[in-house]
Amino acid sequence: MLADGRLNTGHAGVLLVERRGSYPLIDLRILKTSAQQGEVESGTRRKVKRLLSFQRYCHASRLLRGLVPHTPGSLHLLDDDYLGQAAHMLSKVGTWNFDIFLFDRLTNGNSLVTLMCHLFNVYGLIHHFQLDMVKLHRFLGMVQEDYHSQNPYHNAVHAADVTQAMYCYLKEPKLAEQLSPLDVFLGLMAAAAHDVDHPGVNQPFLIKTRHHLASLYQNTSVLESHHWRSTVGMLRESGLLSHLPADISQDMEQQLGSLILATDISRQNEFLLTFREHLDNQDLDLQLASHRHFILQIALKCADVCNPCRVWELSRQWSERVCEEFYRQGDLERKFDLEISPLCNQQADSVPAIQIGFISYIVEPLFEEWHRFTEPSPLSQTMMGHLHKNKARWSRLRYAHTPSETETHSHADEPEPEGGGGEEEGEDIP
């Protein structure tokens, strides 16, 4: 039986959506964490919501201006804005050593919008779905702006990185020939929006501080449900799919939800066991839409946690960023006398230790099965090579006598060891 996203559509099957900026940032000044209250002060919450909504509206409006193409009907939406180096990077967007940090700098912080527009053109999705270019830009601007740039990890650059990885996976020979335009559209959209409006803290934090999102989603897939419904809200606000029949657009919203909800790490074993069972039984039939959807769920899960499979210099940066986000949550919990969450204690949880555990229990089991699925592809061999080398390097850093942060940076400039797969795989753009 295929794993499926648990979609709560509310009463009478009506999908509940959330407006952008529908909850305040997790902030020391607005969080009430006493045992008696444990809630965000309602008056301050309303003020912050209005402030965020106004700021985001203004930013989105500025983003939209200048993005509209000069030539009516042009499908190359951002041609006028591409700088030479950014355009050169986009010509190699299918390579696994793609440097998303550099690309974000070259696009002046617009990596997600630029990447998505380029990939929509590569696949001809604008023409196929008859998308309005202004509405597309409005939607992508909303998504990019609703990622919190102050988050070290869960920000728009992470979303762009996951989207680029998803593109690499959609190009896998085992998958590419079977995918429909709808599959590609959903895969890219889910990758771009899978963490939108992430507050920079995890679900247990929202539960123990009695955040209203935890109550709304009954402590189950809280963040993922919010990401999905925020995405649906932006789709409807932008009108991107308004020209499609209602039943078609609603089905697309539901499938987006199923993909985004699959990124809930607490459901890792559920998906992994189902994936392994299909591979053992050799019963995956990618001509079936339901089976393709399941593989898209697996591909998105892989893309979401693929950082340890990148080259060391990129992988290390992501590792430091995610641990910094963990440590910030731990500092917040310590300040308010809350129990410090696992992996969030900077004094006890080093970056190398966190990464070794993450690789051993989450990344390796998932990518070993993906390796089997691709039979294996050159890209998969490259990823597994980087994964094993990166794990070995973290192991050396863990047992070094100098502090982990110093060691991490001191090793950053070491040449990458030979072997384990080249980085040239997947350079051909379809």
Catalytic residues: 154
Cα angle 317, 323, 328; round to 5: 125
Q: With the CA atoms of 285, 380, 156 and 340 taken in that order, what torsion angle do they form, in degrees rounded to the nearest 10?
A: 100
355 is in an annotated binding site: yes
300 near 259, Cβ under 8 Å? yes
157 is in an annotated binding site: yes
CA distance 305 to 294: 17
Q: With the CA atoms of 80, 86, 92 and 98 taken in that order, what torsion angle do they form, in degrees rounded to the nearest 10?
A: -140
Amino acid symbol at 44: T
11 is in an annotated binding site: no
CA distance 120 to 85: 20
264 is in an annotated binding site: no
156 is in an annotated binding site: yes
What's the distance, Cα to Cα, between the start and end of the chain in Å? 33
Residues whose CB falls within 8 Å of the CB of residue 182, separated by 6 or more in sequence, listed in order? 252
195 is in an annotated binding site: yes
- In sequence order, the β-bridge partners of residue 40 are 31
From residue 325, give the alpha-carbon distance in Å to each of 251, 332, 425.
35, 11, 32
CA-closest candidate to residue 256, choices 273, 277, 233, 272: 233
154 is in an annotated binding site: yes
CA distance 69 to 62: 15
75 near 127, Cβ under 8 Å? yes
178 is in an annotated binding site: no
**CB hemisphere CA count around 275 (13 angstroms):** 27
Owner of token pair 């106004």: 54
Owner of token pair 């305040």: 24
388 is in an annotated binding site: no
* Annotated binding-site ranges for AMP: 154-158, 195, 304, 355
* Annotated binding-site ranges: 154-158, 194-195, 304, 355
* Annotated binding-site ranges for Zn(2+): 158, 194-195, 304
